[in-house]
Structure 1
Amino acid sequence: MSKNGLIIGAGGFVGGFIADEALRRGYTVTAGIRESTSRRYLADSRIRFLILDYENPEQMAEAIAGAVPEGDDYRLVYNLGATKCTNFADFNRINYQYLRNVVEALRMARRIPGRLLYMSSLSALGPGDERTYAPLTGKTIPAPDTRYGVSKIKAETFLETCPDIPWTIFRPTGVYGPHEQDYLMMIRSIDRHWDFGVGLRRQMLTFIYVKDLAAAVFDALDTDRTLRRKYIISEPRSYTQAEFRRIAARILRRRLVIPVRVPIWMLYLVSAVAEKIGVIRSKPSTLNRDKFRIMRQRNWNCSVDEAVADFGFAPRYDLVAGLTETVAAYRESLGEEASR
């Protein structure tokens, strides 16, 4: 197979790990990023950089034509996306329209990849059954109830209308690991002896460690069985909030952690206020009404049977191992901050 890889949206938390995994597997890696994108997680000197203006298909076509081989002798991982926005309309622009622009640029440049893996989200499927807690599967009919989820299913549907694009779609559940910020908030809270949960009903959570997700990307690209197929990506078990708390507390060596349950209505009020503050500051808030709908969801159970069958998906990290590395990175960052 080709060992040329273009990673679009490489500058973020997940993108950096995808680039590292590609290098580990012997790829020549080109990172597609904006001019303003931080290269903090792309420090390896072997990485080549390609500056892309996602609003401008013509500019991208020219840049891509000069950076990747002619024909289909490369793999493209499309990891570009926004998980929180100040203006909810930006979800559609960034998660859907930018994909359309990139595909247009690929066609203009005559650089259709041999394979394209699109990073979607489990949120594209919408809420799971909260009565039986049955797992979400590849046969689940998508019914997203967030603007984020809608933008992702729109992007998926667009790819399905592109007969010339040899796509594979990943729908990962909650991705965590070093440098990720949302789960880091939970770890910091537990480190300070508090565990804030949402709602009184049981919530089943699923996770995927970022290194397992990055490895799965290239395992899927290595086989034709994944062509034009969609896969849920998750550790093959779920956890309650109490289990997460106990695991994190043990790794953090915190014997006393006080669980606090925030009522759903209170979370909505806090999310609405935080969203308004984010608008005033022109900075996306971690809490907003879209995130509220995700946090109130009780059932994140999901099945990875299709990924196991088609490309041998087998995560190496369970939550204990993944959180151990994540906490180690968190403590290292605290040490760096203290030394400044």
Structure 2
Amino acid sequence: MFPSTVLLTGGAGFVGSHVASLLAGRNVRVIVPTRRRDRAKHLILLPMVEVVEADVHDPATLARLMTGVDAVINFVGILHSSGGSPWGRDFERAHVALPGAIAAAAKVAGVARLIQISALGAAADAPSEYLRSKAAGEAAIRAGGVPWTIFRPSLVFGDGQCFLRLFAGLLKLFPVFPLAGAGTRYQPVDVRDVARCVVHALGEDEAIGRTWALCGPRVYTMRELVRMTGRAIGAERCVIGLPGALASLQALALELAPGPTLMSRDNLRSMQVDSVCNDGCTLPFGFQPNALENAIDACLADFKPTDRFESARSRAHR
């Protein structure tokens, strides 16, 4: 039976917002807790979606949120943390402790289904703290006593948003593009494909106890993704792959740069593992994946000179 009330932890984010929209379209009551309501303002007007200011890291609050809930989907994830062994405290809080707390609270409340959004490459012996902590979160979900499903997406794109935007901004600045992890392979997946797999799994008994990788139809190296971005915005550059020591220096420089962290040394360690599915991998439930090429123009539209010119003319009412 498909759930009538679903709790989305981390539901105000990129993937969670798409899942909330799909569930609302099926007349499912959706509860989205957030520390700040304005971060979820894009969801407030959706019918059936209730945005609640709450701290899901607080055990009493988490228990209260579980009341009357049929299923929980956990999207909480972060990319950066202070270092530690086997992982830093921020990874511990978001990727390990929280899934364990969610599973425990869900079991007490009698929640029927629990879905965890993890990461492709998660493993206890992975080279990065990020991937090791994601694997520990998966273990907490599996041991929690609630029927579970785990999804491991590769890089996610869609709806005018994608990781290529970071490259686009940098390509505009540098005539030569030094690149750490140039040979790492990725299999980007459309956010709409991720969302429909997650929603479909809620009503499928075959999804219980399964861990699925979610990937698009094509594999790219990081170098190919940067070159694709350059072609799309009219800023093709010479891409120079950096060897290990220089790649670490680049990651450290970006880690220490002012403003939001663009990359860290732990991110670089994650890039030692290809983010791709096994040979012949397809989306579950017979879904056909959308290709990155179909979304790249929308993703990078405001980096193209003609688009920026037209946008400026429009703002000037000319």
TM-score, length-normalised on structure 1? 0.77
Q: Which residue of 2 aligns with 1:103?
A: 103
Q: Which residue of 1 aligns with 2:143?
A: 161
Structure 1 residue 39 displacement after superposition? 1.7
Helix, strand or coil for the counterpart of 1:117? strand
Report 1:196-215 matches (<5 A). 196-198=178-180, 202-215=183-196
Deviates more, 1:144-153 or 1:56-65: 56-65
Deviates more, 1:227-236 or 1:82-91: 82-91
Helix, strand or coil for the counterpart of 1:50? strand
The answer to whether the aligner puts 1:262 opposite 2:242 as a matched pair is yes
Q: Which residue of 2 aligns with 1:170?
A: 151
Residue 165 of structure 2 aligns with an amino acid whose one-letter code is L
The answer to whether the aligner puts 1:239 opposite 2:241 as a matched pair is no
- Distance 1:149-1:41 versus aligned 2 partners, 3 A rule: farther
Report 1:81-92 matches (<5 A). 81-86=77-82, 88-92=88-92
Report 1:130-209 matches (<5 A). 143-163=125-145, 165-178=146-159, 182-190=163-171, 195-198=177-180, 202-209=183-190
Matched pairs, number = 305
Q: Which residue of 2 aligns with 1:76?
A: 72
Residue 55 of structure 2 aligns with an amino acid whose one-letter code is D
- Distance 1:267-1:231 versus aligned 2 partners, 3 A rule: same
Deviation string for 1:167-226 (max 9, x for gaps)? 0000111122357574321132345566543257x4322211212111121122231111
Structure 1 residue 290 displacement after superposition? 0.6
User: 1 CA distance for matches of 2:219 and 2:293?
Assistant: 13
User: 1 CA distance for matches of 2:315 and 2:245?
Assistant: 41
Judge conservation of contact 1:84–1:286 (CA < 8 Å) in 2: no
Over the aligned positions, Cα root-mean-square deviation in angstroms equals 3.2
Helix, strand or coil for the counterpart of 2:245? helix
Helix, strand or coil for the counterpart of 1:60? helix
Helix, strand or coil for the counterpart of 1:231? strand
Q: Which residue of 1 aligns with 2:64?
A: 62
Judge conservation of contact 1:85–1:284 (CA < 8 Å) in 2: no
Deviation string for 1:278-325 (max 9, x for gaps)? 7xxxx7623212111123x263332285664x522321x201012233
Q: Which residue of 2 aligns with 1:313?
A: 287
The answer to whether the aligner puts 1:13 opposite 2:24 as a matched pair is no
Deviates more, 1:86-95 or 1:185-194: 185-194
Deviation string for 1:258-295 (max 9, x for gaps)? 323333312212323443557xxxx7623212111123
State the identity as a percent. 23
Judge conservation of contact 1:234–1:304 (CA < 8 Å) in 2: no
User: 2 CA distance for matches of 1:29 and 1:304?
Assistant: 36
User: 2 CA distance for matches of 1:212 and 1:329?
Assistant: 24
The answer to whether the aligner puts 1:122 opposite 2:109 as a matched pair is no
Q: Which residue of 1 aligns with 2:265?
A: 289
Residue 268 of structure 2 aligns with an amino acid whose one-letter code is F
Judge conservation of contact 1:233–1:304 (CA < 8 Å) in 2: no
User: 1 CA distance for matches of 2:43 and 2:58?
Assistant: 24
Judge conservation of contact 1:175–1:207 (CA < 8 Å) in 2: yes
Q: Which residue of 2 aligns with 1:219?
A: 200
Q: Gapped runs of 5+ residues in structure 1? A: 126-141
Helix, strand or coil for the counterpart of 2:122? helix
Helix, strand or coil for the counterpart of 2:262? coil
TM-score, length-normalised on structure 2? 0.82
Residue 62 of structure 1 aligns with an amino acid whose one-letter code is R
The answer to whether the aligner puts 1:300 opposite 2:275 as a matched pair is yes
